[in-house]
Amino acid sequence: MAWSAGPARRRRGRCRYGGQRPAATTHLTGPTRAAAWRNILFWGLVAAADKAIPPALQRWEYDRANMRGQVEVRGASHSVMVSHPGAVEKLIQTADRAMR
Looking at residue 48, what is its pLDDT? 94
Angle (nearest 5°) at CA 83 between 78 and 85: 110
What confidence tens digit (pLDDT) does each residue in 3-13 have? 444 555 555 55
What confidence tens digit (pLDDT) does each residue in 46-94 have? 999 999 999 999 999 988 888 888 899 999 989 999 989 999 999 999 9
Looking at residue 89, what is its pLDDT? 93
Looking at residue 6, what is its pLDDT? 52
Claim: this prediction has a pTM higher than 0.85: no
